[in-house]
């Protein structure tokens, strides 16, 4: 077969029954529709098997949860068995911005809701002390020393090195 | 790849020590995007190169099947990765991973249409123009298909290879996954693919969730996949086969047993 954009002189193709679904020739728009269905919760495009696309969406969230847990081990460990569902609830309608930023955005949300405790809060404090991250752009290293509160701790970053100090008068956490 | 590379393993930082300790190892793969965009390769990979272990950069984010042209910066990164590890070839997928500026976070299937063939061919040619080495293309495992396929899987793959001159990276676990999920015969696909174009073969484990088999790379290799290696090698033995593991890493003994099972199924020497 020689049909296609590389053979513009091939002449009109013989009439053929149209396949179901949107017409061909708009691959970019159709790919965008499919990605939106998978990562932003948009409707499944016509013609696709809704059950199978739903299974793919779930598998994608499971894979993303594993990738984020590798970047944010204490965040994931702190949530234990609730980690996959917590991450999925956060990520189901948000396209990934990379595992580092996805975990960071979730940690900030949980912190704002008062749900971040123990080593997971120290993990976030250490990142906040080391990097500038305003949410809209990729994080970049801080050039100046910084200090952030953890959970009964204070995290100090100086010349790129991070030190975690337990605050006086705070009961030592078990397991530390 | 040339004959003699035999059984290899995907190099990952988490199993770097295990990989370094494999006495018979002749080749590894590294995720291309995990290498720095400039400067030398990580020391662990340089050590493997010093032992004359071949290192193949394997791209996962190029989006060769995207309707838009590939990002020149990503192509340049892949070319740099090939140069710094003195690679014999690189590999990427017949898939798309983003549309517009939205990342899917995963390899997504293409419609098996002439329009999609043209998009892949154009992007592979743009990439080949910048690469110092050949590229091998890997068909993916798809949980769902597009509603308007015009070509069979074998026709789709063969046409892309014919029009680009690219090699084939055949993932035997993907062949198994797709056949199981579509209810087709995996051996029939092997009979229809240009097996003389296979540069190397991927082998990985998977598991069933919700009635669908997933190519997870975090589970054991099913016996059926090892049997398919035998079917493949009975037709045309590939120059090399590589174990992919991407998380939930088991004890070294378990990984060694999987490498030995691949060697036994293909007739290549053990590397453990």
Burial B171-184 (b: 16+ CB within 10 A, else e): bbbbbbbbbbbeee
Distance CA A86, CA A65 (A): 9
Length of chain B: 272
Q: Global pTM?
A: 0.88
Residue A101: which residues within 8 A CB-CB, separation 6 or more? A133, A138, A139
Tell me the nearest-neighbour CA distance from B31 into chain A, angstroms: 14
How many beta-carbon pairs below 8 A join chains A and B? 100
**Residue A145 pLDDT:** 86
For residue A10, pLDDT over 50 is answered with no
**Residue A163 pLDDT:** 86
Distance CA B152, CA B27 (A): 32
Question: Which residues in chain B have their CB less than 8 angstroms from residue A20's CB?
Answer: 147-148
Helix ranges restricted to H, B207-251: 223-235
Distance CA B10, CA B203 (A): 10
- What residue in B sits closest to A20 (Cα-Cα)? B148
Structure confidence by residue, pLDDT tens digits, A12-31: 344 444 444 445 569 999 99
> What are the backbone dihedrals phi and psi of residue B6, each rounded to the nearest 5 degrees, phi first?
60, -130
Please identify which residue in the block is written with the tokens 């997504």. Answer: B108
A116's tokens: 């971040």
Q: List the 177-206 stretch of B: residues with Cβ below 8 A of A.
A: none
Asked if the Cβ–Cβ distance from B68 to A28 is below 8 Å, we say yes
What's the DSSP call for residue A2? -
- What residue in A sits closest to B107 (Cα-Cα)? A60
Asked if the Cβ–Cβ distance from A28 to B102 is below 8 Å, we say no
Tell me the nearest-neighbour CA distance from B184 into chain A, angstroms: 17
Q: What would the DSSP string read from start to end of B67-102?
A: SSPPPHHHHHHHHHHHHHTT-S-EEEEESEEEETTE
Distance CA B244, CA B256 (A): 13
Structure confidence by residue, pLDDT tens digits, A154-169: 888 888 888 888 887 6
Asked if the Cβ–Cβ distance from B144 to A49 is below 8 Å, we say yes
**Which ipTM score applies to this complex?**
0.94
pLDDT in tens for each of the 272 residues of chain B? 666 799 999 999 999 999 999 999 999 999 999 999 999 999 999 999 999 999 999 999 999 999 999 999 999 999 999 999 999 999 999 999 999 889 998 899 999 999 999 999 999 999 999 999 999 999 999 999 999 899 999 999 999 999 999 999 999 999 999 999 999 999 999 999 999 999 999 999 999 988 999 999 999 999 999 999 999 999 999 999 999 999 889 999 999 999 999 999 999 999 99
Half-sphere exposure of B205 (CA within 13 A, CB side): 18
- What residue in B sits closest to A7 (Cα-Cα)? B118
Distance CA B239, CA B259 (A): 16
Based on its alpha-carbon atoms, the radius of gyration of chain B, rounded to whole angstroms, reads: 17
Question: Which residues in chain B have their CB less than 8 angstroms from residue A63's CB?
Answer: 105-106
Asked if the Cβ–Cβ distance from A46 to B147 is below 8 Å, we say yes
Residue A85: which residues within 8 A CB-CB, separation 6 or more? none
Structure confidence by residue, pLDDT tens digits, A133-143: 988 888 998 88
């Amino acid at each position: 077969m020689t049909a296609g954009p590389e053979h513009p002189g091939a002449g009109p193709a013989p009439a053929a029954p149209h396949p179901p679904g949107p017409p061909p020739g708009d691959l970019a728009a159709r790919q965008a529709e499919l990605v939106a269905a998978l990562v932003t919760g948009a409707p499944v495009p016509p013609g696709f098997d809704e059950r199978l696309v739903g299974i793919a969406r779930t598998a994608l969230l499971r894979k993303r949860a594993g990738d984020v847990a590798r970047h944010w081990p204490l965040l994931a460990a702190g949530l234990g068995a609730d980690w996959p569902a917590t991450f999925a609830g956060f990520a189901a309608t948000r396209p990934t911005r990379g595992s580092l930023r996805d975990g960071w955005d979730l940690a900030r949300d949980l912190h704002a809701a008062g749900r971040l405790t123990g080593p997971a809060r120290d993990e976030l404090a250490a990142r906040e002390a080391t990097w500038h991250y305003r949410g809209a752009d990729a994080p970049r290293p801080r050039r100046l020393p910084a200090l952030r509160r953890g959970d009964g701790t204070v995290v100090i970053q100086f010349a790129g090195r991070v030190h975690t100090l337990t605050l006086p008068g705070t009961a030592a956490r078990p397991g530390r | 790849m040339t004959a003699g590379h035999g059984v290899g393993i995907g190099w990952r930082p988490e199993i770097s020590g295990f990989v370094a300790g494999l006495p018979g190892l002749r080749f590894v793969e590294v995720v291309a995007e995990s290498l720095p965009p400039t400067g030398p390769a990580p020391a662990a990979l340089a050590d493997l190169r010093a032992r004359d272990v071949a290192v193949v950069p394997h791209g996962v984010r190029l989006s060769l099947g995207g309707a838009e042209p590939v990002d020149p910066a990503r192509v340049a990164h892949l070319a740099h990765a090939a140069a710094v590890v003195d690679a014999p070839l690189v590999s990427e997928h017949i898939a798309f991973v983003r549309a517009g500026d939205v990342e899917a976070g995963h390899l997504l299937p293409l419609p098996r249409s002439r329009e999609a063939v043209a998009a892949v061919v154009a992007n592979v040619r743009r990439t080949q123009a910048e690469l110092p080495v050949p590229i091998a293309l890997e068909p993916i495992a798809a949980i769902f298909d597009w509603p308007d396929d015009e070509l069979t899987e074998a026709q789709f793959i063969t046409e892309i290879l014919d029009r680009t001159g690219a090699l084939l990276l055949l993932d035997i676990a993907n062949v198994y996954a797709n056949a199981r999920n579509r209810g087709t015969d995996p051996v029939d696909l092997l009979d229809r693919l240009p097996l003389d174009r296979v540069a190397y073969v991927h082998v990985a484990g998977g598991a069933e969730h919700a009635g669908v088999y997933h190519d997870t790379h975090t589970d054991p290799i099913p016996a059926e996949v090892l049997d398919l290696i035998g079917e493949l090698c009975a037709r045309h033995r590939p120059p090399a086969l590589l174990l992919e593991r991407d998380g939930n890493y088991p004890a070294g003994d378990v990984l060694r047993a999987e490498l030995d099972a691949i060697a036994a199924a293909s007739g290549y020497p053990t590397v453990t």
